[in-house]
Amino acid sequence: MTAAAQSVIDGTPAPVGEKPGAVDGPIGHLEVEQFLYREARLADTHELDAWEALWTDDAVYHVPVDDSWDPRTHMSIIFDNRGRIATRIKQLHTGRRHAQRPPSRLVRIVSNIEIVGTEGTDTVVSSVVQVIESRERDTRTWAGRVTHKLRRVDGGLAMAYKKVVLVDSDRPLLSLSFLI
């Protein structure tokens, strides 16, 4: 593929959607847990627009190869800003994203949820995810440690940052074309 073709992946930011369950005040464990479960369900069931609406405008979505590498100067599996998240969703919406045609059948378990600190207005959450993916080629397990940075927006929660460090991130990986 030509390099020029690759410039298209930086799209324009999409608006952040409405956040359900609007409340104010500090972000508690139950609210965090409900948010992560909801995010997991939307990704599993390919509710793409609802999943995309969980992101803030300054979002970063990162799946590193090596968590010690600077993603600005090194390769990542995914390193999306908000515009590129939108492009990724648009590509899935075309129905011609062959690697997701048909969409993977997914169930994921989110566990070991801990609120580990705050960064400015963001609450930093650590969790573990295990995803079972079934496609015609095979059924396989993906597993990783996840960091979310959650922020209160319009009374609800939104994610400003999500990083998934896969246990096998620096090993040969088959295509990972669903929303991890």
Partner 1 sequence: MTAVGEAPERAPGERVRSLVRPDRVHGSLYTDPTIFAQELEHIWYTTWVYVGHVSEIPQPKDYVRKSIGPQQVIMTRDREGEVHLVLNRCAHRGNLVCEAPSGNSGSFRCPYHGWTFSNTGELLGAPFNKGYGGKEGLKELGNLARVPRVAIHRGFVFGSLAEDGPSLAEHLGPAADRLDQLARLSPEGEVELTAGFVQHEVNANWKMLVENETDGYHPQFVHSSIFSISGSSIGDLYSDKSTAVTRALGGGHSENDLSPEFRRLGVPMGWAGTLESKIPDYVASMRETYGPQTGDEIMINGSPHIMIFPNLFVAEIQLFQIQPLAVDRTIQHVTAIQFKGAPDLNRRLVTQCVGSVGPAGMLLADDAEMYERNQRGVAQLQPEWLDLRRGLHRESTDDDGFTIGTATDEISMRSMWKHYLTLMAPQGGAA
> Should residue 15 be labelled a site residue for partner 1 when binding is judged by CB under 8 A?
no
- Of the listed pieces 18-26, 38-46, 113-121, 165-173, which binds partner 1 according to CB under 8 A? 165-173
Report how far residue 178's alpha carbon sits from residue 44's, in angstroms, rounded to the nearest whole number. 9
Q: How far apart are the first and last CA of the chain?
A: 25
> Should residue 180 be labelled a site residue for partner 1 when binding is judged by CB under 8 A?
yes
- Of the listed pieces 30-38, 88-96, 118-126, 147-155, which binds partner 1 according to CB under 8 A? 88-96
> Should residue 115 be labelled a site residue for partner 1 when binding is judged by CB under 8 A?
no
> Should residue 63 be labelled a site residue for partner 1 when binding is judged by CB under 8 A?
yes
Report how far residue 137's alpha carbon sits from residue 141's, in angstroms, rounded to the nearest whole number. 13
> Should residue 22 be labelled a site residue for partner 1 when binding is judged by CB under 8 A?
no
- Of the listed pieces 32-40, 46-54, 67-75, 105-113, which binds partner 1 according to CB under 8 A? 67-75
Per DSSP, the three-state class of 58 is: strand
All residues at 6 or more sequence positions from 144 whose CB lies less than 8 Å from its CB, including other chains: 63, 128, 129, 164, 165, 166, 167, 169, 180
Report how far residue 52's alpha carbon sits from residue 83's, in angstroms, rounded to the nearest whole number. 11
Q: Give the binding site for partner 1 (CB under 8 A).
A: 1-11, 63, 65-66, 69, 71-80, 84, 87-88, 90-91, 94-99, 101, 136-138, 170-177, 180
